[in-house]
Amino acid sequence: MRNVRSQESAEERAHRLNSMRRELRLTADRERHTLSRESETYTERELRLTADRERHTLSRESETYTERELRLTVDRERLVLFRESETFTERELRLTADRERHVLSRESETYTERKLRLTADCERHTLSRESETYTDRELRPTVDRERHILSRESETFTQYEDRLTNDRVHHNIVRSLEDEHEHERRLESGREYYNSLRQERLISLSNERLRIENIRSLETDEQQEARLTTDRFRHSLNDLDVHIEDQSTNLVAWSDKYKILYKEKFAEDFLRNISHNDEDATNDNFRDLSINLCLLALQEDLRTLGSKSLCEFGLPTPTSVGEVTNM
């Protein structure tokens, strides 16, 4: 260590000493400010904050555009470094304090102050979004969605109702105060947003069709036949469910009313195969046997698809081959 220090120049040594003095001074200032603010009264705190605001206002009025940009850049870097080092508990305390401060601030502001704040926010957001790149724009909605999802997953039913109520009240107030030009601009913005969503959906559907076509172009004849068989079976079950009027009786889909209408249509191919054009094909024995064979075939298809049972679709369980189901 002594050899390293002996090799540094006088300028490097002076710079190192100045850095150490600066860190010691900043640490002492922080401790002094902490002790001072812990002992100050509410009135002293308000006076200090008021004086700080006035000083900041005068300072920012006189700064040039370059000075303002440098100040904002330094502030952003400082905040990023500070927030990277804070713990989860410190972050939660900071956010809670910010919310309480914003609530108190907005409760005491006048109508004019509120309008000025909203106007300034709109201008700031507009300038910020005009300067953001395509990547920044894509990242921002993604981060917002994730933040909203996490926030809404943790909210209770009461918080959910309060949020919706506050949103409705806020929207009603905002729309009652807007003039004709703002009303038209809002509607136009809504139309543009709706059209952009439709365009994105059309692009997504087109990409999905291309993906499915590519997959199906690579499948073999056996895979295609298995897929078509599965689709026919699924469509048959969907058609059956459409005609069920009472949703509470889904588990007994083959009730007497619908047995008569659909079970024979399901089994007509089996009836034709086992009857061999026999004139007696219309008797009950042939019909019951064909229905049982149909149920056995459906059960086998379900096992191939995922080991599901006919009961899950509200269908009766068939008997073994050679017996007749008691329908």
Q: How far apart (Å, rounded) are the C-alpha atoms in residues 121 and 252?
A: 59
What b-and-e string marks burial along 123-161, b requiring 16 or more CB atoms within 10 Å of the CB? eeeeeeeeeeeeeeeeeeeeeeeeeeeeeeeeeeeeeee
Q: Which residues contact 261 (CB under 8 A, 6 or more apart)?
A: 243
Q: How far apart (Å, rounded) are the C-alpha atoms in residues 129 and 143?
A: 15
Position 241 scores a pLDDT of 52
Contacts 24+ apart (CB under 8 A), 243-251: 250/314, 251/314
Which residue stretches of the chain have pLDDT < 50? 242-255, 257-258, 281, 322-327
What's the start-to-end Cα distance of the chain, in Å? 97
Q: What is the DSSP letter of 312?
A: G
Position 252 scores a pLDDT of 44
User: What are the DSSP calls for 277-303, one per residue?
Assistant: T-GGGGSHHHHHHHHHHHHHHHHHHHH
The one-letter amino acid at 210: L
Which tens digit of pLDDT belongs to each residue from 62-102?
A: 888 888 888 888 988 988 888 888 888 888 888 888 888 88
Position 325 scores a pLDDT of 40
- Do 319 and 283 contact (CB within 8 A), yes or no? no
Q: How many CA atoms lie within 13 A of 127 on its CB side?
A: 6
Position 324 scores a pLDDT of 44
C-alpha pair distances (Å), 322 with each of 20, 290, 319, 325: 97, 11, 8, 10
Which tens digit of pLDDT belongs to each residue from 134-152?
A: 888 888 888 888 888 888 8
